Amino acid sequence: MDYLQPASWAEALALRAQRPDAVPVAGGTDVMVGLNFDRHRPAALLDLSRLRELTGWERDGDHVRLGAAEPYTRIVQRLRDPLPALAQASRTVGSPQIRNRGSVGGNLGSASPAGDAHPPLLAAGATVEAASVRGTRLIPAAEFFTGVKANALAPDELIAAVRVPVARGPQRFAKIGTRNAMVIAVCSFAVALDLAGRRVGTGVGSAAPTPRRATAAEEFAAGELEAAGLWDSRGPLPGSLARRFGQLVADAASPVDDVRGTAAYRRHALSVIARRTLTWAWAELRKETSGCGCHAM
């Protein structure tokens, strides 16, 4: 096995083009598990850990451009305001040691159906910035996941960054697991209220071959809020709306029975966390409107 250690982003892209058989590695929290257990024997590792281009984040108009290898710890610390659901999800990743190394780029590269970053990226309408020696292209998160642990990257492409729209309303993430740390999601869900666009964004995790949006639930909720004038009045959220939203989210899933939970449990849990997250997000909106200024978590 070769160890490729590019010193610049240009060199990394050139190496990627020459060695499509190399496995990119940054924080190692997923790749190294496969190596330690001898599940994978890649021809080469492409070490991206020295590339400054992949760390940090910047505000770019109405987006945050988040470097692919920026660790979760810093997302939790610094991006709570512009990217609330992603920051909440990041806080549930692994443990402090894992969050110090793991990154959204790695999550996307692995493309596990259970990846914690995926539902918030879907709900917020993020795009993945894929780069190669041929240039850069933007892939919508909703088109990025192509199968179980498969993504839309070409063999010569690397994930440079993810572009996430700055929140235009409350967002919430919830995840089902057996404890508060070191949990692979049994199922997970993110909701993003877009007040300016009068839209509701969703992302469902660990309940289908890929992370996916629940588009029927999105359209239902946005339409009902519109019809009842709630986008303007910000009156109380009808319980029937939240329950139906939860059912539609559960309907969007196609879960399986596995060691972490049954399909039936996943569907039920999804309907509950979808209802709750929408209710919490709406409550936060009403608090903001009433001017108390607090951000209840």
Partner 1 sequence: MRLSCHVNGERRCADGVRARESLLFVLRERMGLPGSKNACEQGECGSCTVYLDGVPVCACLVPAGQARDRQVVTVEGLGDDGGLDLVQEAFVEAGAVQCGFCTPGFVVAAHDLVRRGYAPTEEEIREALAGNLCRCTGYEKIIDAVKLAASRWWARSG
Residues that bind partner 1 (CB under 8 A): 1-3, 5, 25, 27-29, 31-33, 35-37, 41, 44-45, 47, 49-50, 94-98, 100-101, 180-182
Parallel, antiparallel, or unpaired: how do β-strands 127-132 and 63-67 relate? unpaired
> Which residue, chain included where needed, has tokens 């990394």?
12
Q: Which of 208, 213, 211 lies closest to 191 in space, CA to CA?
A: 213
Sign of CA pseudo-dihedral 30, 33, 39, 41: positive
What the block records as the tokens of 169 is 């309303």
Of 69 and 200, nearer to partner 1 (C-beta) is 69
What the block records as the tokens of 227 is 């019809």
What does DSSP assign to residue 5? -
d(CA 14, CA 17): 5
Report, in angstroms and rounded to the nearest whole number, the Rg of the chain calculated over CA atoms: 19
Of 25 and 274, nearer to partner 1 (C-beta) is 25
Of 44 and 142, nearer to partner 1 (C-beta) is 44
Q: Cβ 2 to partner 1, closest distance in Å?
A: 6
What dihedral angle (degrees, nearest 10) is formed by the CA atoms of 250, 186, 148, 96?
A: 130
Q: Cβ 55 to partner 1, closest distance in Å?
A: 12
Give the SS3 label for residue 271: helix
What the block records as the tokens of 38 is 């001898």
Q: Cβ 42 to partner 1, closest distance in Å?
A: 9
Of 100 and 254, nearer to partner 1 (C-beta) is 100
Of 5 and 254, nearer to partner 1 (C-beta) is 5
d(CA 239, CA 92): 28
Of 5 and 110, nearer to partner 1 (C-beta) is 5
What the block records as the tokens of 152 is 């839309």
Of 75 and 242, nearer to partner 1 (C-beta) is 75
